[in-house]
Amino acid sequence: MLLGVLVLLVLLPEVPGLRVMRLASFDAYQNVFPRVRTVPTVTIVAIDEESLARYGQWPWPRTLLARLVAKVSEARPPAIGVDLLMPEPDRLSPARLAEIVEGLGPGLVQMLQALPGNDEVLAQALRGRRVVLGVAGLEAGAAVTPADLASPPLRTFGGDPAPYLRHFASALKSVGAIHAAADGRGLISVDPERGVVRRMPLLATIGDVVVPALGLDMLRVATKAPAVVVRMGAGGVRTVALGDVVVPTERDGRVWIHFGRHDPARFVSAGDVLAGRVDPNLLSRFVLIGVTALGLGDFHATPVGDRQSSVEIHAQFLESVIDGALLSRPAFARWIEVVGLALGGLLLVLAVPRLRARHSMALLLLLIGAFVALGVILYLAGAILLDVVTPSLALVVLFTVLLGLTLAETQSQRRALRRQLEQQREAAARVAGELEAARRIQLGTLPRPAAAFPGERRFELYAFLEPAREVGGDLYDFFRLDEDHVFFMVGDVSGKGLPGSLFMAISKALYKSTALRRHHPLAEMMREADAEISRDNVEGLFVTVLAGILDARTGDLEYSSAGHEPLYLLARGTRPLSRLEGGGGPPLCAVDGFPYTAATRRLDPGDTLCLITDGITEAMGADGSMYGRERLEALLRGLDPEAKAVLVGETIRRDVEAFTAGKEPSDDMAVLVLRYLGAGAPSLSETT
């Protein structure tokens, strides 16, 4: 029922309020996609502020207008349109000056009266120069005859167009001599709709006379068409033709102008034309002469958002006709709107009661988006105006009613869901609290350098770990094996979240137990830890480990990697950054009984070791790119060789934070930095 009413409203042409929205949607097309001039075809000779400053206030003497027309015609334009009205004799004609100015001698008066009038001079300038004068329609006034307007011949097919055309009771035209001298006369009146000029009548009636628009008569004069041909159809005018130029129209003879932005390239100053400073090529096109000076020009709002002068609107109309770019709203456009609304409405009626609210909203937005896309496609491809606002609004109304009915029917279910949601929130809060406690416990198990090595002066150590979630699977550890040997490690469990954190704690504890029992060599530690951790690994998890033992007396380093990122050596002095890749094997728990090996390296005082997990190199930036090994290595190369361990570690942490720009981390991150200082070197341990 409601859908039928909405379809009927869309079918009706003039529903209060709907027409305003329909026109606004048509304006939106042009405002977003204005017409772009490809080949310039029209030039406007503007009587602008500069021209008035040079040649005096408006109105000018008609002799000056005669000079302007003559100058323009030297470039042989196809036609000249004059968007000016001169309904009264020129008060500056010589004979009228003799009457106005007092104290002139009889001889001077006789000489002035013998000179030709300014109107005759302008009329002479117009003759034979393909000039079309403007005629304004009036809603009231004295009746006019065909002889008064001298309109061009009209040939009609299929009926009389007069009853459908815009009608004016009378006309305002130029004085007789000027009016008669022109090769054509065209209507310059425009009818704003809701304050905006969107359409222009190709033909209108003034009294009983059919008059063409100014631009249309300019085309007739330019093409030397013998008559304006009008073809009628069922219910009104269908086309208006001049020779090979055929223009489809609305039933009342109007056309939708395809507007472009205000373009200063269309304009040349009348003062420059009179001074001969204008390129003749600019005047070899269709030329329109009109007033654009502020306070004198007739300005109107247009769909592209600009207030444009009357003469520019006529230029836009003429360009649209010449380029075949006029907009249209054919009869089938309304049927597209009706059928689209009916089908979309039926889909909503069937889907809304069955879908969730957000899915129903998505369907509504999809339907509206389809309407908008179709409207844009028709506009860009065929210059067709499709009303997308009215059907979209009708769908919104239908959707709102359906949603209200659906919500009313499911109110009891919503209350039950609300209670269930409250229970789930309470459970989630408990889980969040437990996870936070687990996080504190997990991070609390990690050692701190100051507590592990109080008063140690032979090396510095920095460690940092940040889980991607509340708890994570990365780990680090360090402790003394004896007075001179320091064990350190970094690891990464294959799982994340709670499973990863549990396996991390188990792996860390078992490896530390193994290390404290075994002391060294490191390869045996690695093999024994692999066996211990694998023993009860029912979930099949594995852990990558990079472990090392540093002799603080000599700087001898023993290290082994179980599938982990190699450690970096930041050598003191001018030696380049290097990666220590010797020794090791696959991740722990990956291959049973693998014979892990270890490698050795002697560190010089001032050398720094940097161990990381892959959460550092695989950190994601806001644009989806990874931090990467190259960026890390460039950062390490740029560090001062004398930098302390805490400075190295904090520089890495801050650079990763800046790269991710606050984005939630996708993986756990751990960093361990060990700087060997040599026996007796002064230092302070740092922790994070």
pLDDT value, residue 72:
94
246-266 residue pLDDT tens: 999 999 999 999 999 998 999
pLDDT value, residue 438:
67
92-136 residue pLDDT tens: 777 666 666 666 667 666 666 667 788 898 999 999 999 999 999
Q: Determine the average pLDDT of the residues in 584-605.
A: 90
Q: Determine the average pLDDT of the residues in 587-593.
A: 88
Residue 437 has pLDDT above 70, yes or no: no
pLDDT value, residue 568:
93
Higher pLDDT, 21 or 677: 677
Tokens of 415: 């209350």
Residues in Cβ contact with 424 at an 8 Å cutoff, skipping those fewer than 6 apart: none
- CA 660, distance to chain mean position in Å, is 26
Residues in Cβ contact with 537 at an 8 Å cutoff, skipping those fewer than 6 apart: 503, 589
Residue 360 has pLDDT above 50, yes or no: yes
Confidence of residue 91 (pLDDT cuts 50, 70, 90): confident
**3-class DSSP state for residue 430?**
helix
Residue 385 has pLDDT above 70, yes or no: yes
Higher pLDDT, 83 or 429: 83
Residue 426 has pLDDT above 70, yes or no: yes
For residue 463, the one-letter residue type is A
| C-alpha to C-alpha distance for 565 and 549, rounded to whole angstroms | 17
DSSP 171-220: EE---HHHHHHSSEEEE-----BTTB--EEESEEEETTEEEEBHHHHHHH
Residues in Cβ contact with 327 at an 8 Å cutoff, skipping those fewer than 6 apart: 26, 30, 255, 256, 257, 258, 320, 379, 383, 384, 385
Q: Is 560:551 a contact under the CB 8 Å cutoff?
A: no
pLDDT value, residue 98:
63
Residue 219 has pLDDT above 70, yes or no: yes
pLDDT value, residue 684:
38
398-413 residue pLDDT tens: 888 888 777 777 777 6
Task: Look up the pTM and report it.
Answer: 0.59
Residue 683 has pLDDT above 50, yes or no: no
pLDDT value, residue 15:
66
pLDDT value, residue 685:
40
Which has the closest alpha carbon to 375: 18, 4, 37, 22?
22
- Residue ranges of domains in the chain, CATH in brackets: 2-12+329-409 (no CATH), 36-91+125-323 (no CATH), 449-676 (3.60.40.10)
Which has the closest alpha carbon to 456: 431, 488, 429?
488
Which residue is associated with the tokens 């003759």?
A: 127
Residues in Cβ contact with 610 at an 8 Å cutoff, skipping those fewer than 6 apart: 567, 568, 569, 570, 636, 648, 652, 671, 672, 673
Which has the closest alpha carbon to 383: 426, 423, 330?
330
